[in-house]
Structure 1
């Protein structure tokens, strides 16, 4: 890139031959057009692209959740950036059929709030899921009014269901009714706690795979 005070006809903008002229920080600037050529990604680069595509495709429908509850922003990295980075490093694996998410390592939230102890989930009639957990109010920053959040994903449908205020921590049980179209499908389930009206949350717990009845 070169700068100049006066060209042949003074400063110019736009493309002339293989040179582009523009103004940058109050100066006349010229740069050559990039050389175009054939580029073939290495196997490692293509693998990383597929990982990124898989993670972004998975997180996009729940970006509002991770953008609010996944850790704390660091410099120019948003919570969504941190969630993407975490899942790229820890929660996507290569298989013979391509990249897939490692659901057991997926996190929907990440924070210092006390998480779920003794959590269970079971399918019940009427496309519902029954949850149970221990009341660990008073441990760390946990309080009885912390809200249970639930995220459910049906891989075959590539669809999510979420409810960010299912019950309070001291309730110890709750029932979630899923959309009827999820009946008969296997779903992956995560749960966590958050403090109402804040972005303070726990590290989410993977509850396992359940077949919706």
Structure 2
């Protein structure tokens, strides 16, 4: 805003750090330009903001998958609220006052399908070998349930999604991984869904696979 001259010859406006305004009696008043200072956050508030940012940044790339796989809303109105609330409450912890992801607490799905029960898992030459108990004789487990796996590489901040990559009844699969995943190390989660993929299980954390 620059300086202006009104019809009655009065100056108004801003010049540098000085503001000219019209007073109640019609006379010009000179004031200093207001200085707005950003309020410094308290340590506790800053910690809360850092937790929110970390959790949000972690789940955002997964949300296209999570919005369909969180079929149990955990008391929330929708999948978006459930994902955000659960992740910020349970999957972000403090270590010496610094927020970090609690990978073992991360959920990539919720629901009533029978969960993944690991029998064997290991890095092999061409990827990640997974073997599980089909459990097809148990309730909420069908031979045509489909397996999905999510891999996260912290060093690269990158995700791999293997959606509907095997049937429950098959009992095993080898997932092909880029070489950089094995070289950097990664975390992985597995879950089952029904054949139409509109109902899921509570996911299972497969663990941290060390770099080789």
Taking structure 2 as the reference length, the TM-score comes to 0.77
Kindly indicate whether residue 161 of structure 2 is the aligned counterpart of residue 197 of structure 1. no
User: CA deviation digits over 1:143-199, x for unaligned, max 9?
Assistant: 000001100001111100011112100111101001233231111010010113332
Task: Give the direction of change, closer, same or farther, for the CA distance of 1:129–1:76 in structure 2 (3 Å limit).
Answer: closer
Report runs of 4+ in structure 1 exceeding 4 Å deviation. 73-76
Aligned to 2:183: 184
What residue is the counterpart of 1:25 in the other structure? none
Q: What is the CA-CA distance between 1:37 and the residue it aligns to? A: 6.1
User: What does 1:1-213 correspond to in 2, within 5 Å?
Assistant: 38-73=38-73, 77-96=77-96, 98-126=98-126, 128-211=127-210
8 Å Cα contact 2:76-2:82 kept in structure 1: no
**Unpaired segments ≥5 residues, structure 2:** 1-20, 22-35
Q: Supply the distance in 2 between the matched residues of 1:142 and 1:136 (Cα, whole angstroms).
A: 6
Q: Is 1:124–1:212's contact at 8 Å kept on the other side of the alignment?
A: no
CA contact (8 A) 1:145 1:195 kept: yes
Aligned length in residues:
178
Q: Secondary structure at the match of 1:156?
A: coil
CA distance in 2, matches of 1:124, 1:171: 19
Displacement of 1:44 in angstroms is: 2.0
> Which residue of structure 2 aligns with residue 14 of structure 1?
none
1:109–1:76 Cα change, 3 Å:
closer
Report the Cα distance in structure 2 between the residues aligned to 1:38 and 1:63, rounded to whole angstroms: 33
Question: Secondary structure of 2:207's partner?
Answer: strand
Q: Which SS does the other structure have where 1:175 is aligned? A: strand
State the TM-score, normalizing by the size of structure 1. Answer: 0.76
**Greater radius of gyration (CA):** 2
Q: Given the superposition, is the C-alpha separation of residues 109 and 44 from structure 1 closer, same or farther in structure 2, using an over 3 Å criterion?
A: same
Structure 1, 63-72 or 36-45: larger mean CA deviation: 36-45
What's the RMSD between the two structures over aligned residues?
Answer: 2.2
**1:40, CA displacement in angstroms?**
2.6
